Each structure stands twice: as structure tokens, then as C-alpha cells.
Structure 1
Amino acid sequence: MVGQSLFRYGLGIILIWLGIMKFKNSEALQIEQTMAQTVLFQWMLKYVTIYAFSQIIAWIQIVAGVLIMLKPVSASLSRWGGALAMVVFLAGILVFFTSGVVWQTGYGFPELSRAGHAFLKDFILFGAAAWCFSDSQ
């Protein structure tokens, strides 16, 4: 029971914290560098500024974190939070597999770059979000 609570509320705190970080210009610039090298997402840069996109991600993460932590109040809302979080972390996993920024320049697999280290967390966080989604029934 304690472990499950730590898992749920820890994920909520991580999402909120990462969301708040997305409001910083430095974070937006990091996102822009990654998106520019990711075929799945580079097209978006033509339609929305990187700062607007970063704020959209920020709000999605913050809302997902809050909803996940609302399970004692509403399991249904918590389930929606888990689903939003899964989408966020799935996007990170897709970037991991489709972008060249995750590998250390000149080395390739298995040498991860700093960006690669940052995206590696999305695998376990996706699992945590999936658990929160399934646990909120």
C-alpha cells in the first residue's frame, strides 16, 4: 500500500515538476533541438512556435500530474491523468527511437548523449503511468 502510494504520488510530482520546467526558455530550446531532428515531430515547428509548444506540453504534464494524484477523490479523473501521462511518455519513447540526438556523437549505440539520458526515464515513467491508468478503475 505504501509502495503504491509512493508510485502514484511520485509520478504526479514528477509530472508537475517537469511541466513547470517546460515554462523556461532553456527547456523550450532543448525541445526545439530535439524536435528538429525527429522526423515524427519536426513538421510541427512549421505551425506552432517552440515556446507555445513547450507551454502546451507543460500544461498537459501539470494537469496529468494533478489528475493522477486525485485518485482518492475521483478514480475516473485519475484514470484520465494516467492516460495523458502515457501519451506524454510515449512521445518521449518515440523520440528516443527516431531521433539522432539520443546517441553520443561519434560513438552510437550504446553510448547515450545527455538527451538520451533524459529520454531513457520515459520508459519507466510510461510503465508507472500505465499502472496508474489501470489502477484507477
Structure 2
Amino acid sequence: MNGTVLKINKESRTGRIGYYISLFGAALVLLWIGIFKFTPTEAEGIKHLVENHFLTFFVYDIVSVQTVSDAIGAIEIIIALLLLFSVKFASLRKYAAIGMIVTFLMTISYLFTTPGIWRMVDGVPVTDFFILKDLMLLGFGLMILNEKNDHK
């Protein structure tokens, strides 16, 4: 039995529409969440994720909760802008993709490093589902990194 091979034809109208919906959707999510990181509510909301991660557990010993959140927000906004500007400047696409991949690998890893993030509800394991959206965004970042720079 042969599996299917996904080949996105960006020369077709539906391929272009799908690509740009994904690009602008990813940029919107990154921009919106990045802006929200500058609020005290979000800074407190991500604290338990950051302080329990093996790569970031120490940052609150150096800077404040809000400063950490602001830095993460700035990174997310920069990646969103790189994505948006990559529509006109293809050379930025690679940097946007790398930023997306690193960012979303990090956020997905919180599912494995944060105590209590998984719980049982009516016999079904559930988590903070907002992190699961990053699986799709990680996939899109990998697709962008893999594509040739001749995209129109």
C-alpha cells in the first residue's frame, strides 16, 4: 500500500490561497499573542511554564516576570513581522521559519516540563490546549524553511 505524498502547488490558485492564509494566520497569531505578552496578566500566566522548564528555570533570578514576558513578546512580534515582510522580501522567509521552529519547539516542550499541565477530565487526558496550536505553526515553519526562494 502506498501512502500519499503532499505536494503543494503554489502555482495553482488554491495552493496560493492556502499558503497565504497560513502565512497571514501565523503572523496574526504571533502578533496578537506577542502583544498580549506585554500585559501583567499574560506575564503571570506564563510564569509557571518558564520557571519549570530546564532551559529557562533561572531567568526569574536575573530579571522580572514582566521583563521575561516582554522579551518573549518582542521575539514573537519580530517573527510575525518577518513573516509579513517575507511576502515582499523572500530572503526573510528563512529567518521567519527558523524563528517559528525554535519558538514552537520551545512552547510545545512545556507540555512535557510543566508539572500539572496534564489532567484527567471525564476520563480523557487534557492540557492547556492553547499550546497545541503550536503543532500546526511548527509544521508551517518547517514547510516555509523547506520551500525554495522562488515563491511568487
Sort the TM-score into its range (normalised by shorter chain).
0.7 to 0.9
**Does 2:22 match 1:21?**
no
Q: In the aligned structure 1, how far is the partner of 2:136 from the partner of 2:55? A: 22
Percent of aligned positions with the same letter in both sequences?
A: 25
In the alignment, structure 1 segments of 5+ residues that lack a partner are none
91-100 vs 15-24, greater mean Cα deviation: 91-100
Q: Compute the displacement of 1:19 (Å).
A: 0.4
Distance 1:42 1:110, change over 3 A: farther
Given candidates 27, 32, 36, the residue that maps to 1:12 is 27
1:95 and 2:107 correspond: no
Are the equivalent residues in 1 in contact too, given 2:38–2:69 (CA < 8 A)? yes
Contact 1:79–1:133 under 8 Å retained in 2: yes
Q: What is the one-letter code of the residue matched to 1:81? A: A
**For residue 48 of structure 2, what is the aligned residue in structure 1?**
33
Partner of 1:128: 140
Structure with greater contact order relative to length (CA < 8 Å, sep ≥ 6): 1
Tell me which structure has the larger Cα radius of gyration: 2
Tell me which protein shows more helix as a share of its residues.
1
CA RMSD after TM alignment: 1.9
8 A contact 1:75–1:136 mirrored in 2: no
Aligned partners of 2:106, 2:145: CA distance in 1, in Å? 17
Give the structure-2-normalised TM-score. Answer: 0.78
Pair 1:66 & 2:78 matched? no
The number of residues matched between the two structures is 133
